[in-house]
Amino acid sequence: MKKIYRAYFLLLLILFIVWYSFRIYTNNILIIKASITTYPYAIFHSNDIVWKQPKKILMTATANTFEDLASWKADIIFVTEPNSYQYNLMNNSEKKIWLIPISTENVVVLVNKNNPISNISSEDLKLIYTQDKDWSDFWWDNKPIISYQIAWWNWSATVFEKLVKWSRINAQHIEEVYMDKLIDDLWNNVYGIWYAFQTFFSNMYPNDNLKIIKVNGLDPEDRNYLLKSNIFLWFDKDNGKIKNINL
pLDDT at 20: 46
Residue 230 · residue 103 · CB < 8 Å: yes
pLDDT at 141: 81
Instruction: Give kind and range of the element (H or E) at residue 232.
Output: strand 228-236
Residue 61 · residue 35 · CB < 8 Å: yes
223 Cβ neighbours under 8 A, 6+ residues apart: none
206 Cβ neighbours under 8 A, 6+ residues apart: none
pLDDT at 6: 64
Residue 130 · residue 173 · CB < 8 Å: no
pLDDT at 218: 95
* Strand pairing category for 146-150 and 55-59: unpaired
Q: What is the pLDDT of residues 134-181, one digit of tens each?
A: 888 887 888 888 888 877 666 666 666 666 665 556 556 777 777 778
pLDDT at 233: 84
Handedness of CA 151, 155, 158, 160 (dihedral sign): negative
Between the two ends of the chain, the Cα-to-Cα distance in Å is 59
Q: Tens digit of pLDDT per residue, the chain (247 long)?
A: 666 666 666 666 565 555 444 444 455 688 889 887 788 888 887 777 776 677 888 888 777 887 788 787 888 888 887 766 677 777 776 667 777 888 888 989 999 999 999 999 988 888 888 778 888 888 788 888 888 887 766 666 666 666 666 555 655 677 777 777 888 888 888 998 988 888 888 888 889 999 999 999 999 999 999 888 888 888 887 777 777 666 6
Handedness of CA 31, 34, 40, 45 (dihedral sign): negative
pLDDT at 224: 93
